[in-house]
């Protein structure tokens, strides 16, 4: 894709927006050609399997049926968003709730909400990112709350910051919405994605004792779902550019900010791997020609025949290769909670049409409206948090 760019400085945005539309066929900058070179190289590499800070290969293993799950009921958790509350909005099956992740060479400790609160007493934890981070944030609160249902709590919903407090323990768990991890400004009614700036968001992030970041899906949005009107890079403005290149540049800005601003002796930093979507039944139907829905609607069991879970079903997300590359090059790398492969097997765990955000007409048309990106609660994000809990305390 050719880039549209302008030499006009930031302060002259009025003539900028006219000028941009006249320059449709200018070539890539040297920086973006360099980034594309990285992607071509990474395309031929095998997916990374992370062990991170433990001798147990936490992120390689199998899903096993376990009737002691789920760890909580949606009806007993006060904060689940309608878009994640599948049972409340009519999902008829329940086996998707009864799977436990078993790593290849160990067993995960069972999540203990009281222990979590005692370990985190007087501390703050913040999830920063997009709605997948919000999915995980709500899951963690539900998992803890089910262990201490009588404890005093406080919920403050806001934009971009929402906060849940377990008052008796002095534990604060927040979600900060920043889908790109870099700045979005609005100037003259236009949304500017600033690939080289974090500062405004970061002032709030500094206060947390544990930070968990994520980004990914918003970099791919097109049309009315696209989150920017222009991208700013190097003092120039682009209506669009190579999406992986833009994501990589934004992640490098974030990584540099973390290396420069976060005291890692005081604050633990995690990064949630790319959460896979299940929009293509060809990735799991083994050539069966009777598949008609182009999404995850009607899927009630995980992808089978995966052995020990070392072969990725379908196309491995290129975004995860970018995440892996950037974080490995940090001065003090964040801990990658590498949930990408284990989540890829869970085609059964999405809300599909069982979302409070859908009208009856939308539910009747799953080919158009099924949500195969987010996850039901209870559900898969509970496993992300069990892995998070293991990495944090064990």
Give catalytic residues, as residue numbers.
131, 371, 374
Token pair belonging to 333: 């790398």
Structure tokens at 188: 């003259």
| Dist. CA 302–CA 305, nearest whole Å | 10
d(CA 250, CA 248): 5
The CA distance from 389 to 391, in Å, is 6
Q: Maximum Cα–Cα distance for the chain, whole Å?
A: 63
CA angle, corner 107, sides to 104 and 113, nearest 5?
A: 135
Alpha helices by DSSP H, 224-370: 243-261, 318-328, 340-344, 360-363, 366-369
Give the strand order in the sheet containing 268-272: 153-156, 161-166, 171-177, 124-129, 210-213, 268-272, 335-337
182 neighbors 193 (Cβ within 8 angstroms): yes
3-state secondary structure at position 318: helix
Pairing of strands 161-166, 153-156: antiparallel
Q: What is the DSSP letter of 148?
A: -
244-257-234 Cα angle (round to 5): 55
Dist CA 34 CA 18 (whole Å): 29
How far apart, in Å, are the Cα atoms of 28 and each of 101, 187, 253, 270, 315? 44, 25, 20, 33, 27
Quote the radius of gyration of the chain (alpha carbons, Å). 21
DSSP state of 86: T
The pairing of strands 99-103 and 61-65 is: antiparallel
Burial call 179-213: b when 16+ CB within 10 Å, e when fewer: bbbbbbeebeeeebbbbebbeebbeebeebebbbb
């Amino acid at each position: 894709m050719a880039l549209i760019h302008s030499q006009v400085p930031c302060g002259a945005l009025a003539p900028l927006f006219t000028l941009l539309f006249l320059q449709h066929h200018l070539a890539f900058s040297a920086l973006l050609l360099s980034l594309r070179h990285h992607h071509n190289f990474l395309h031929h590499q095998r997916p990374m399997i992370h062990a991170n800070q433990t001798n147990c290969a936490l992120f390689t293993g199998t899903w096993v049926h376990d009737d002691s799950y789920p760890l909580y009921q949606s009806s007993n958790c006060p904060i689940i968003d309608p878009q994640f509350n599948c049972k409340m909005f009519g999902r008829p099956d329940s086996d998707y709730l009864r799977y436990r992740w078993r790593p290849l060479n160990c067993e995960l400790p069972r999540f203990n909400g009281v222990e979590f609160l005692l370990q985190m007493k007087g501390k703050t934890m913040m999830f920063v990112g997009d709605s997948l981070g919000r999915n995980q944030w709500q899951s963690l609160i539900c998992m803890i709350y089910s262990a201490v249902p009588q404890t005093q709590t406080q919920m403050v919903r806001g934009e971009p910051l929402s906060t849940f407090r377990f008052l008796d323990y002095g534990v604060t768990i927040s979600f900060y919405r920043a889908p790109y991890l870099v700045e979005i400004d609005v100037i003259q009614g236009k949304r500017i994605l600033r690939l080289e700036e974090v500062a405004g968001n970061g002032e709030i992030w500094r206060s947390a004792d544990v930070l968990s970041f994520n980004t990914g899906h918003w970099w791919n949005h097109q049309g009315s779902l696209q989150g920017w009107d222009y991208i700013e890079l190097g003092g120039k403005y682009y209506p669009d550019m190579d999406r992986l290149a833009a994501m990589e540049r934004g992640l490098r800005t974030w990584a540099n900010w973390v290396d420069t601003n976060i005291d890692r002796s005081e604050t633990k930093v995690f990064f949630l791997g790319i959460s896979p979507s299940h929009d293509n039944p060809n990735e799991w139907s083994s050539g069966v020609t009777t598949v008609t829905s182009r999404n995850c609607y009607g899927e009630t069991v995980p992808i089978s025949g995966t052995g020990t879970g070392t072969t990725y079903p379908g196309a491995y997300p290129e975004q995860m290769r970018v995440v892996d590359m950037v974080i490995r090059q940090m001065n003090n790398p964040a801990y990658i909670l590498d949930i990408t492969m284990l989540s890829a097997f869970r085609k059964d765990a999405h809300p599909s049409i069982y979302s409070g955000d859908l009208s009856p007409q939308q539910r009747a048309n799953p080919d158009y409206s099924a949500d195969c990106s987010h996850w039901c609660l209870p559900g898969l994000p509970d496993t992300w948090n069990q892995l998070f809990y293991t990495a944090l305390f064990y």
